[in-house]
Structure 1
């Protein structure tokens, strides 16, 4: 019981010691273990200049060295500072430069401007033209009914 209470207090102290609040990011990033040649896809749940929280099924341990790839920022060396069930707290070896968190939040997919590949614009009637067309169709329908009724009765 004492160890559990101590761990809870320690986690609360860790959260309160953060210099900056973390910003919810929820973007796909990459994580590479220090001794692995390839990176794995992870979800970066939140971020600040000092660290981030990643969600992954990778088996990571506290104080493990990793490299985290964040869209809009790039690769950053970090260490795992806490382990949850499916998420991990990471502290960057060096804080991110000013403006990095904002850069990670912006969409980094840009339109290439291929206007020729877009569908051509469709013709749209002006409101007055739509009313005239609707009136003409209605008049034609009523005229057909009147002609048919005249032939049947006459």
Structure 2
């Protein structure tokens, strides 16, 4: 007598959607509450507030609703960027799974520095940020004080000429 058994395994591409909610969010979460930017699959930036973060995923809040399954990249100030996928949407809250998960070092470094704003054309040839200010602060201060003193001298001279 021969017995045959068939095991139906879920499609691994849908494993995130099929697992229990408690299993999906089992990682230790760190409360973040910081502004960041995600880029969707078409490299369109979306400003978000990252609410919490773990090795395997994160939750963010944004009025820009992305559908479940959307591939994204999250900017982690201090730790670069990380690829993820939207796995849950509840109003403005979005749950995302990192693919691959963050390393412990990335998690520790994430959001330890200021938000990075990359704007083309704002760097000098040496890689330094060009603030658009042509003179150092000391020179600008001297011009400001000198200009104020010159204006008062002109006012006093005008008052003497009129009297």
User: CA 1:92 to 1:17, structure 2 compared with 1: closer, same or farther past 3 Å?
Assistant: closer
Q: Alpha-carbon deviation of 1:94? A: 0.2
Where structure 1 has 5 or more consecutive residues not aligned to the other structure, the ranges are 1-9, 110-115, 118-154
Please tell me the root mean square deviation across aligned C-alpha atoms, in Å. 2.6
Q: Establish whether residue 15 from structure 1 lines up as the match of residue 22 from structure 2.
A: yes
Residue of structure 2 equivalent to 1:47: 53
TM-score by length of 1: 0.57
Residue of structure 1 equivalent to 2:41: 34
- Give the number of the structure whose residues are more often helix, by fraction: 1
* Aligned residues between the structures: 101
Please state whether the residue corresponding to 2:20 is helix, strand or coil: helix
Please state whether the residue corresponding to 1:99 is helix, strand or coil: helix
Counterpart of 1:56 (choices 49, 52, 62) is 62
Q: Alpha-carbon deviation of 1:106? A: 2.8
Where structure 2 has 5 or more consecutive residues not aligned to the other structure, the ranges are 1-16, 116-136, 139-163
Supply the distance in 2 between the matched residues of 1:107 and 1:47 (Cα, whole angstroms).
Answer: 16
Counterpart of 1:104 (choices 99, 102, 110) is 110
Supply the distance in 1 between the matched residues of 2:101 and 2:79 (Cα, whole angstroms).
Answer: 12
TM-score by length of 2: 0.54
Greater Cα radius of gyration, structure 1 or 2: 1
Please state whether the residue corresponding to 1:62 is helix, strand or coil: coil
